[in-house]
Chains A and B, each alone.
Chain A
Amino acid sequence: MAVEIDIPRVARLARLALSESQLEIYRHQLGVILDHAARMQALATEGIAPTGHPLTIATPYRLDQVGEVLDRDEVLSQAPETEGPFFRVPQIVGEE
């Protein structure tokens, strides 16, 4: 089965600014990998529940209490850009 891949759309969804030549290489490589994966279609899986996680334990509960927290200045020291106690990013909405 030849798999169709709209690679510019996938890259956009993944927030990866790739060049056209890079996109072409990845489209080809994903095609090879997905063709291999498509062999799974031969397995009958109707009515089989999907497994998202191997553990069968229940979600643990705890009291909603504040515990140990990370030091704010230490955390902010790793950010590319900050302003006061905030992370700073370029404009998100509106005109330049």
Chain B
Amino acid sequence: MSSLADLSIAAAAAGMREGTFRAVELLEAVLLRATFTEAQLHAYLNLDREGARAAAEAVDQSRAAGKETGPLAGIPIALKDNMVTRGLETTCSSKILAGYIPPYDATVVERLRQAGAVIVGKTNLDEFAMGSSTENSAYGPSRNPWDPERVPGGSSGGSAATVAAGSALGALGSDTGGSIRQPAALCGVVGMKPTYGRVSRYGLIAFASSLDQIGPITRTVEDAATLLSVIAGPDPHDSTSYPHPPPDFRSRLGRGVEGVRIGVVREFMGEGIDPQVLAASQETLDRLSQQGAILSEVSLPTCEHALSAYYLIAPAECSANLARFDGVRYGLRIAGSNTEEMMANSRAQGFGPEVTRRILLGTYALSAGYYEAFYIKAQQVRTLLIEEFRRAYAEVDVLVSPTSPTTAFPIGAKAADPLAMYLSDVCTIPSNLAGDPAISVPVGLDREGLPIGLQLMAPPLQEELLFQVASAVEAVASFQARPGLAVSEAAE
């Protein structure tokens, strides 16, 4: 390996601990990589070189002085730009928040800083995390490090691209309907959505509050568990955070899958899924079976309606959450003859088309006359889905499916058809509706050299089990490929 930027978090932490290199050297390798890759990827909205250098130097000084350092001391981490950072512009990839400098840090940011992480910058996303390709950013799309003519997935596409390209060692994303797992799959990295409530949402700019969850994007399963350990745990600022301290998420890594009951979701292993994605998934399952896992087929028929339920519930919650962007306290203001006109002008000009579409959809679903038929119906479907998951977990320990129905698609391919874009999340949405943890692990490449991800799902609060099985998938898949962009810089 020729660049420090390609190290895993675990290897980089060990290297700094043992004095092989310093945090500033690691950071400079990452910033050099970013200089090289950003010209093509646009994964970052804002690279905070100065702030990152100061943080890395502080880590080196602490270490030189023999002080105790945190678990992420000196590790360069990228943040999706929907998590607020005090003093550092946070836009959510929206024109309505252009120039917004938050007056506080999100809880996850505070915890990263306490753990010694070096925050490299803020990554691009679909505006307000609404999308599956990062094309809905007001500041232009991000591109896939495996093929810059293709999307990196979304909405955390910038975060996934930085980790794949080596312009960060790990990143945080947020996942409302698959926004961590789907881009991780399309970029060939690990992406994990914790149980709803595991990680505080304080300072995460809200999209759909009953679905949103922050989680790690990394190159290895172990790194994901490490990063989650830092950000998880109760937070008095978020009344929906799970009130008990989290376990050691690394406790069951490497334990294998002997005797683990794995349910293969029938609805996601056939029609609508790319044959190459199916083949790679099946191959991995066969290898898990050879390792002693007990495979069975599980049917979750309500999943057929999960997408419909999601596209009413998420927009309904978004229409309420985004009411706060009204040109009064922060963000864009477009003049009007009275306050209401000012608000309507500011919102119409500040929000992009996808956000506008979802606000309209949600407002419609919540309006008198349609509330019962659409919104309540969707919430009832959510109940049925949760009950179905609970019944499945009485028979199996974890569930498995492809993460995304396809590999990375060309930029622009689905931009004109919202429904086709929404179908990108068909396999990931059920876990958000259920509130359960899920992870995507890269398992291979298709014939065009694009990564394929396998999704594992577990019952609520069973992250340790999820990481155990994910580390077994990682071991049997032995995915070592790196995107061309990262390799070409390293060769220079």
In the complex the two chains form, what is the Cα distance from A57 to B243 in whole Å?
8
Q: Is B485 an interface residue (CB 8 A)?
A: no
In the complex the two chains form, what is the Cα distance from A9 to B197 in whole Å?
36
Known: A26-B360, A79-B330, A80-B327. A37 touches B384 (CB 8 A): no
* Interchain nearest-CB distance for A21 vs B (Å): 13
* Interchain nearest-CB distance for A62 vs B (Å): 7
Known: A15-B347, A40-B308, A90-B337. A45 touches B360 (CB 8 A): no
| Docked-complex contact B330 and A78, CB < 8 angstroms | yes
* Interchain nearest-CB distance for A38 vs B (Å): 8
| Docked-complex contact A90 and B339, CB < 8 angstroms | yes
| Docked-complex contact B312 and A18, CB < 8 angstroms | no
| Docked-complex contact A15 and B326, CB < 8 angstroms | yes
The residue from A30, A78, A79, A91 contacting B357, defined by CB atoms under 8 A apart? A30
In the complex the two chains form, what is the Cα distance from A11 to B308 in whole Å?
22
List of A residues within 8 angstroms of B384 by Cβ:
43, 45, 48
Write the A67-96 contact mask toward B (1 if CB under 8 angstroms, else 0): 000110011011111000001011110001
| Docked-complex contact A51 and B383, CB < 8 angstroms | yes
Q: Is B453 an interface residue (CB 8 A)?
A: no
The residue from B311, B359, B377 contacting A41, defined by CB atoms under 8 A apart? B377
Q: Is A2 an interface residue (CB 8 A)?
A: no
Write the B91-109 contact mask toward A (1 if CB under 8 angstroms, else 0): 0000000001101100000
| Docked-complex contact A51 and B337, CB < 8 angstroms | no
Q: Is B488 an interface residue (CB 8 A)?
A: no
In the complex the two chains form, what is the Cα distance from A10 to B364 in whole Å?
6
Among A31-74, those with CB < 8 Å from B are 32-34, 36-41, 43, 45, 48-55, 57, 59-60, 62, 70-71, 74
Can you give 23 A-B contacts (C-beta < 8 A)?
Answer: A14-B319, A17-B341, A29-B357, A33-B311, A34-B361, A38-B308, A39-B305, A40-B305, A41-B373, A45-B380, A48-B380, A49-B383, A50-B376, A54-B386, A54-B433, A55-B196, A57-B243, A71-B103, A75-B103, A78-B103, A79-B330, A90-B341, A91-B338
Q: 10 tightest CB-CB pairs across the interface, nearest first?
A: A54-B435, A50-B379, A80-B333, A45-B380, A17-B344, A74-B103, A37-B308, A78-B330, A14-B363, A51-B382
